[in-house]
Homo-oligomer: A and B are copies of this chain.
Amino acid sequence: MTTEATSGILSSDRREDREQIIELLTKAYWMEIETVMSYITNSINPDGVRAQEIIESLKADVQEELGHAVAFGNRIKELYGVVPGSLDFAAEQSYLQPPEEQTDIVHVIKGVIAAESGAIEHYNKIIEFTEGRDPVTQDMVIAILRDEEQHRRLFEGFLREYKAEGLA
């Protein structure tokens, strides 16, 4: 009775590949966790009628990004890795900190676009690396990539409007 897979990414001779993928996924995991934090902050702070649209959008996104984080965490586990603890967290999204003025929506919009751009770039890297190596991870990341692309596209539209009005 064999209990070891002898082909695919989970076979014992593919350890090195797995470790590289785990490293990439761990970075992705932290990006999503920080995004959760930033989106909570920015879905509570802003003032104003027009801000409501942003607030609703970010609130819904908190659950979505949390789901991404959990997905990354689960995949790390499946690849025999360990999900890191809170002491390993290091904040990077300087562009999503609360602005001086809570009615400065443009600051928030630009911050979201920056966050999504970073994610898109990193996920493209994972897709490239897993090509032919780990189709399950690749498939999962493509689906997440789409969410991020859609989200950025939406906020680019917001920014364009403010630019058209000379406010950004």
Contact = CB atoms under 8 A, between A and B. Distances in A.
Given A96-B86, A98-B83, A146-B139, A51 B157 contact: yes
Interface of A: 1-8, 10, 33-34, 36-38, 40-41, 44-54, 62, 66, 69-70, 73-74, 76-78, 82-87, 89, 91, 93-98, 101-103, 105, 110-111, 113-114, 117-118, 120-121, 124-125, 127, 135-136, 138-140, 142-143, 145-146, 149-150, 152-153, 156-162, 164
Closest 5 CB pairs of A and B: A48-B161, A47-B157, A85-B97, A8-B124, A86-B91
Of A69, A74, A93, A124, the most chain B CB neighbours within 10 A belong to A124
A49 B54 contact: yes
Contacts of A110: 1, 3
Q: Report how many copies the assembly holds.
A: 12
Contact of A114 (B3, B117, B118, B136): B3
A101 to B, nearest CB: 8
Contacts of A93: 85-87
